[in-house]
Every structure is written in C-alpha cells, then in structure tokens.
Amino acid sequence: MGNLWNVPTGTLGAVLHINSTALPQFHLAFEMRTALCCEQLWLLDNFMGRVIAVANQKGGVGKTTTAINLAASFAAAEVNTLLVDCDPQSNASSGLGLVKDPERVSTYHLLLGEASGEQYRLRDAIAPLRDRFTYIVLDCPPALDLLTVNALVAADSVLIPMQAEYFALEGISELLDTVERIRAALNPGLEIEGVVLTMLDERTNLAQQVMAELKKYFGEKLCAATIPRNIRLAEAPSHGLAALVYDPRSKGAESYIRLAKELLGRHMAAMAAPAISA
C-alpha cells in the first residue's frame, strides 16, 4: 500500500509517513490542505510541535485506536507527525506492525530506567523533537499512574476518548481533577484538546441522551467529529496498519479523518486569529 512506518533507532516513537499517492482516489492531503487558506497553510507548515496526550484512565475506550488513527490522518495530510507509545501494553506499536524488540530504545527505558518520581523526563526527551514535528501524539495507558502523569506534564493538551455510556461523566471527573492538579503544580499550559466519542451508535436513545449531557458539560470541547463502532477499526491493528491505510473508505477511517480536520482547523484558526487582528 506504499506506506512506510519508519522508526529511526534512538527515537521514542514511530515517525508516520503515509504516501498519499498510494491512496489514488482519495487525495486526502490535497483535500485536507485545500480546505485551508494560504495563511493557514503557511502556519501549518511552520507550526511547531503540538504535543497531544490521548488519555482516559478507563480501559478499552479507544485511546490507542484514536492515537494511531488521528496520527495517521495528520500524516496523510502531509503534516509531520510522531506517535509515541507511552503504554507498557505497547498496543500502539504492535498496532502499527512493530514487533517487540528489547534492543529498541523505548519509552520504558526512558521512564523506568531509574524509577524515580521525575516527572519532566518525557517532556525533556520530547523537547528537541518539537521543532521537527507539527504534531506529537502520546498514547497513554489506562491508569492515572506515573506514565500518564509524565505524558500530561509533557503535553500541550489532552484529548479524551470516551464512550457514550451512562457513567461516562463520573469516570471522567478523576481525570479532570488530575489535569487540574498537573496544571497547578507542573504544567500550567495544559489544555483540554477535546472529548471525542468513540464506538458510538448514534441511533440509540441512550447515546443521544449522553451526547446531550456531554454537550452541556463540555460545550465546544466536545468534538463535533464522532467515531462510530466500525469493524475495520478493530481489524486494522491485526494487519499492523492504520485504518486509513487498511481501508481508507471505511466509516472508521473517515471519522478519524474528520477528527483530524476538526483539530487542524481549530489550531490553524487559533494561530491565524492574532495574526489577522494584529
């Protein structure tokens, strides 16, 4: 399919290159880039390293699927993107076909080599990479542990995947408290990137009710793009591929492309606003 997942030795994650010409009828990069005006395109190509942590302490809510497919969608738009696997389960790595290799330098070596409470370790490691990538996406483990705290200290923003379930908000308050504490003590600039609904079946009344509640609670932070339950998203990792490479026309791949466009559009608008008003 012409995609190349290239992991240079000594780096912390997968540098995502998707050859968009390998997706012939799709023209994703073209489509995504023509949606932006000239100033926004300039900003996009000169926009330095926004670090987005994909986090939720609840297990199995679609963090890794979101990290892989959001990063792949950015990469398909010819935006330099780095995906960093911060989870010892290493699902983001295996989902992109990287077999476990004890010789490879990993975030494990970086963070747990000396198991101290040092919370700036990931941030320091990522700092020199910020000017090489437009987006750095961190896949977090399902716990509010030292690994997630390191990721939130290193991040500019946190993207929270969640399912439209009755107890969704209860589960999220602990994460929001942690974000508040990290802001107060360690990383004052940490923003909520957004809340993205995953594995959604919009036809059910429950999903509609939960979506309405979440909209009231999160307002604009609730992403307009939602991710449907889609078998292609579940199948893709077993082939070691992002969904947009495995099946670019699937509903799942399309939904992550919409999410990437929404975030890109927001970031470009936020960057253009001061320039226009100046």
Note whether 60 binds ligand ATP by CB under 6 A: yes
| Partner touching 212 among ligand ATP, Mg ion, none, CB below 5 to 8 Å by kind | none
CA–CA gap between residue 135 and residue 185 (Å, rounded): 25
Q: Which residue among 3, 20, 40, 64 contacts ligand ATP (CB under 6 A)? A: 64
* Residue that is written with structure tokens 């992991």 in the block: 7
Site for ligand ATP in 176-195 (CB under 6 A): none
> What separation, in Å, do the N-terminal and C-terminal C-alpha atoms of the chain show?
45
Choose, by CB under 5 A, the member of 69, 91, 148, 226 that binds Mg ion: 91
Instruction: Please identify which residue in 3, 40, 198, 250 interacts with ligand ATP, judged by CB under 6 A.
Output: 198
230 binds ligand ATP (CB under 6 A): yes
In the complex, residue closest to Mg ion by CB: 64
* Residue-by-residue DSSP string for 89-152: T-HHHHTTT----TTS--HHHHHHSS----SSHHHHHHGGGTTT-SEEEEEPPSSSSHHHHHHH
From ligand ATP, Mg ion, none, interface partner of 6 (C-beta below 5 to 8 A by class):
none
SS3 22: helix
User: Any contact of residue 172 with ligand ATP (CB under 6 A)?
Assistant: no
Contact between 142 and ligand ATP (CB under 6 A)?
Answer: yes
Distance (Å, whole) CA 5 – CA 240: 10
Does the footprint of ligand ATP cover residue 229 (CB under 6 A)? yes
Quote the CA–CA distance of 8 and 24 in Å, as a whole number. 28
Residues within the interface to ligand ATP (CB under 6 A): 59-65, 87, 89, 91, 142, 198-199, 227, 229-230, 233-234, 237, 252
